[in-house]
Structures are given as structure tokens and as C-alpha cells.
């Protein structure tokens, strides 16, 4: 089950406009939190500083318990994972990439990481998520995340340190090359190459995943059918040791997109075309 949040008509219209103009990495959510960059950086640095404190570890345990409850309630009973055998060639840390379409779409990926014996999943998250209110905000400020903000000193300092820490622990690190969430959008979008540059620099693979969305008969809030997810794990992409990091990042980024494109076309039985139709939004009753 995927929850439907306010402002869906506006979000869908923004998706339609961005797809028509080829702006596949733009924001489409109408109510994303906004804050002063200095205040945002202050909050992120406090999170980094608190990571190893007893207080954070208690909050982290609570946040993970909340997420586990959400997964049991909204995911495990209806969702499926295909291709677990493809992880056998991945021995240490890896970046996990996936199409991003819902605030709760990482639940099934957390389940996949546990089933693969990797324990806790780290996820790269937009720093503005730290400014959310309520329970969602508490979870995002206290779960295992690597905040992403547009501050060069942070990105070259604390961000790199957190990334290296997760790599050294042999963790799976979820990162969305598409950057922004497009609500229930079925199609994979061209991604940015940052995730692949990190993978090339650390010499670790990228595991592309594609999330299939299947409409269910049940109608839920605000005129949407419920949606079942099927996570398709695709062939891991390893950096080529004969190439430098820059070239690897371009090649791996393209390979990741082509793998997701092929998965989309196989799963839905149609060519990938970015002409917008109501079918592009899973569960939507126009």
C-alpha cells in the first residue's frame, strides 16, 4: 500500500509539464519544505555531530522501529522482490539505485537489504526532508541517512565522511539518480551521474533496481487505487578498472538507465515513451 498525500492534482500536472519539456530531474511536489540554507546546514551538521551520541542512538532505534512497523503494515504483505540471486556477485558495499515515486518506496528496498544479510540500509536523502514536521520529520532526522545539500564545504567534508563510513561498513547505500520524487510515476527517468561518480571513486558496484507498480482493485483515499510493488533487482554494474572515475561515471550512469528502460519495457510490454498519459501515474483515477 502506498499512501496518497495532499496536493496530488498539482503534483500530477507538474509531472505532465516536466515530462513534456524533458525536465526529468525537476521538483514536482507542491508542498516540499523550504528553509534558509544556513538554517538547513546548521541542522544537518547537528545531525552529523550527534550520530555517535547515546541520545541519537536511542532516537535512531525508535525511528527504525517506526519504519519497520510501516513496512509490515504497508509493504511486506503485498510486495514482492525478484532477482535476489543477482546480489551474489556483490561482496561488499554497493550503491542501490531505483526509480523514486513515493515517500515510502524505500521500505521494500530496506527489506531487500535485510534479506541479503546487509542489515541496516543507508539512504542518501535531500536535506530539506530534515525540515518536515510530525512523525515523518522525526524519522527522517533520526534514521540512517546521508543528507544531501548544495553546500560545497559540506559535500566535500561531512558528506564524504558519511559516505566513506557506510562503504567501510560494507553497507548497501540507496541513492536516487533521478534526484526528485515524481509521485507514482511508472517510467524510469534519466539520472544524474553523481551516484556513479561515487561508485567509481570507491571502486564499488551499482545495483540498479526497477520498481514495478500494479494497480489493485481497492480504491483508497482521494480517488486512487491501491498499488502493489514488485522490486526487480537488475544486473550489478561494476566500474571498469581500465577507465578513470569520470569516464566510469558516464558509462555506469548510461548502463543504469538502459537497464531500467529494458526492465520497464519487459515488465509493462510497451516501449518507453515520455508522452504523458494517465496510465503513467500508478493507481490514478483521472
pLDDT of 71 above 80: no
> Is the distance from CB of 98 to CB of 176 less than 8 angstroms?
yes
* pLDDT band for position 275 (cuts 50, 70, 90): very high
Which candidate, 118, 115, 108, places its Cα nearest to that of 70? 108
The CATH code that applies to domain 8-280 is 3.40.1130
The span from the CA of 216 to the CA of 73, in Å, is 16
pLDDT of 5 above 80: no
Q: What average pLDDT does range 89-102 have in this prediction?
A: 95
Residue 84 is classified by DSSP as: G
* pLDDT band for position 162 (cuts 50, 70, 90): very high
pLDDT of 70 above 80: no
Q: Which of 76-80, 160-164, 200-204, 205-209 has the lowest mean pLDDT?
A: 76-80
Residue 35: the pLDDT is 82
The span from the CA of 56 to the CA of 47, in Å, is 9
Task: Write the CB contacts of 85 (distance below 8 Å, at least 6 apart in sequence).
Answer: none
Q: Which three cell numbers stand for residue 26?
A: 525537476
> Is the distance from CB of 205 to CB of 239 less than 8 angstroms?
yes
How many C-beta neighbours within 10 Å does residue 64 have? Answer: 16
pLDDT of 3 above 80: no
Within 13 Å, how many C-alpha atoms sit on residue 11's CB side? 21
Q: What average pLDDT does range 6-31 have in this prediction?
A: 94
Which is it for strands 94-97 and 206-220: parallel, antiparallel or unpaired?
A: parallel
> Is the distance from CB of 135 to CB of 3 less than 8 angstroms?
no
CA 16 to chain centre: 21
Residue 25: phi, psi to the nearest 5? -115, 15
Instruction: Write the pLDDT tens digit of every residue in 245-268.
Output: 999 999 999 999 999 999 999 999
Task: Write the CB contacts of 47 (distance below 8 Å, at least 6 apart in sequence).
Answer: 130, 141, 147
Amino acid at each position: 500500500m502506498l499512501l496518497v498525500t495532499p496536493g496530488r492534482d498539482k503534483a500530477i500536472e507538474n509531472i505532465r509539464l516536466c515530462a513534456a519539456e524533458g525536465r526529468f530531474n525537476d521538483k514536482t511536489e507542491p508542498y516540499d519544505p523550504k528553509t534558509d540554507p544556513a538554517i538547513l546546514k546548521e541542522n544537518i551538521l547537528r545531525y552529523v555531530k550527534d550520530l555517535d551520541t547515546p541520545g541519537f542512538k536511542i532516537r535512531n532505534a525508535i525511528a527504525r522501529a517506526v519504519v519497520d512497523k510501516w513496512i509490515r503494515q504497508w509493504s511486506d504483505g503485498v510486495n514482492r522482490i525478484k532477482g535476489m540471486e543477482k546480489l551474489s556477485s556483490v561482496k561488499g558495499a554497493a550503491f542501490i539505485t531505483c526509480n523514486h515515486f513515493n515517500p515510502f518506496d524505500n521500505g521494500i528496498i530496506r527489506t531487500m537489504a535485510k534479506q541479503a544479510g546487509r542489515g541496516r540500509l543507508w539512504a542518501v536523502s535531500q536535506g530539506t526532508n530534515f525540515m518536515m514536521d510530525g512523525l515523518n520529520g522525526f524519522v527522517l532526522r533520526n534514521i540512517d541517512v546521508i543528507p544531501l545539500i548544495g553546500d560545497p564545504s559540506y559535500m566535500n567534508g561531512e558528506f564524504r565522511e558519511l559516505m566513506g563510513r557506510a562503504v567501510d561498513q560494507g553497507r548497501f547505500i540507496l541513492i536516487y539518480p533521478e534526484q526528485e520524487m515524481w509521485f507514482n510515476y511508472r517510467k524510469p527517468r534519466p539520472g544524474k551521474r553523481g551516484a556513479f561518480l561515487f561508485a567509481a571513486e570507491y571502486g564499488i558496484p551499482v545495483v540498479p533496481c526497477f520498481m514495478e507498480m500494479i494497480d489493485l482493485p481497492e480504491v483508497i483515499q482521494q480517488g486512487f487505487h491501491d498499488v502493489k510493488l514488485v522490486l526487480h533487482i537488475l544486473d550489478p554494474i561494476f566500474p571498469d578498472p581500465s577507465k578513470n572515475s569520470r569516464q566510469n561515471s558516464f558509462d555506469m550512469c548510461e548502463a543504469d538507465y538502459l537497464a531500467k528502460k529494458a526492465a520497464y519495457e519487459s515488465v509493462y510490454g510497451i516501449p518507453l515513451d515520455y508522452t504523458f498519459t494517465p496510465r503513467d501515474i500508478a493507481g490514478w483515477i483521472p
